[in-house]
Amino acid sequence: MRTALVPRSLLALLCLLMLTATAALSAQRDWQFDSIDGGTLSLDDWAGQPVLVVNTASRCGFTPQYDGLQALYDTYRDRGFAVLAVPSQDFKQELASDEQVKDFCALNFDLDLPMTTITPVLGDGAHPFYRWLADTEGWQPSWNFNKVLIAPDGSVAGTWGSATVPESPEITSRIEALLPRG
C-alpha cells in the first residue's frame, strides 16, 4: 500500500511543478510599458502572438529603420503580429521628451505601431522586460535598433543587432514561422 502512495505523491508534485512553470511563463509576458499615447501597453495584450520589440532612438544612424518596422507591422498585423518600439536614451541619441519623440515619428515616419515612452533598456534601471532578457537570455541591446522577437508562447524566438534591417529574410522568416498559416 505504501508503494501506491509514492506514485501519487510524485504525480501531485509533477502537476504542481507544471502549474508553477505555466504561471511563470504567463507572468513573463505581463510586462507593462507606459504608452507614448497615454495609458499602458502590456506584452500580455499580445499573448499568443509574435511580437518584435525594438529599442529605438530618433537621432541614430539606424533611425530610418522605422520605415521597415512600420512596413513589417503593416504586412503582418492582420495575421496577429505586433511591433513594439521602445525609445531609449541609454545610448544618448534620443530626443529630450516623449512629446518630441512622438512628433518626430509622426512627422518623419507616419508611424502607427505601438510605442512606449522613453524607457531605459540597460543596467539596473532597465525596464523589467529588458532585465529579464539579460538575466534569462544573456542578451541586452548593444546599440539602438536592436531587435528581439518574442514567440507566441512568451519565449525568445530570435535577437538581432542594429545592422539587421527589419525586413531582412532572417527576421521575416522567423516571423512567418510563428504566424498562423493564412
pLDDT in tens, the chain (182 residues): 554 555 665 544 444 444 444 334 444 547 999 999 999 999 999 999 999 999 999 999 999 999 999 999 999 999 999 999 999 999 999 999 999 999 999 999 999 999 999 999 999 999 999 999 999 999 999 999 999 999 999 999 999 999 999 999 999 999 999 998 86
* Distance separating alpha carbons of residues 149 and 154, to the nearest angstrom: 10
Residue 8: give the domain boundaries: 1-30
Q: Same domain for 40 and 21? A: no
Is the domain of 109 the same as that of 174? yes
Round to whole Å and give the CA distance between 90 and 126.
9
User: Which one, of 162, 59, 68, lies nearest residue 113 by Cα?
Assistant: 68
Query: Would you please indicate which residues are annotated as catalytic (active-site) residues?
Result: 60
How many angstroms separate the CA atoms of 50 and 177, rounded? 10
- For residue 95, the model assigns a pLDDT of 98
CATH number at residue 84: 3.40.30.10
Residues 12 and 76 in one domain: no
pLDDT, position 15: 44
The verdict on 152 and 93 lying in the same domain is yes
Regarding whether 38 and 26 lie in a shared domain, the answer is no
- State whether 66 and 105 are in the same domain: yes
Give pLDDT, residue 124: 93
Same domain, 20 and 51: no
Distance CA 147, CA 160 (A): 5
Same domain, 103 and 158: yes
137 Cβ contact list (under 8 Å, min separation 6): 156, 159
20 and 67 share one domain: no
Sequence-ordered alpha helix ranges (H) in the chain: 2-28, 65-76, 98-109, 128-132, 169-178
Selection from 116, 55, 62, 133 nearest residue 90 by Cα:
55
Domain count, the chain: 2
Same domain for 88 and 120:
yes
Residues across the chain: 182
Same domain for 124 and 44: yes
d(CA 127, CA 108): 27
Contact 15, 9 (CB under 8 A): no
Same domain, 39 and 125: yes
**Considering only CA atoms, which of 81, 96, 83, 92 is closest in space to residue 121?**
92
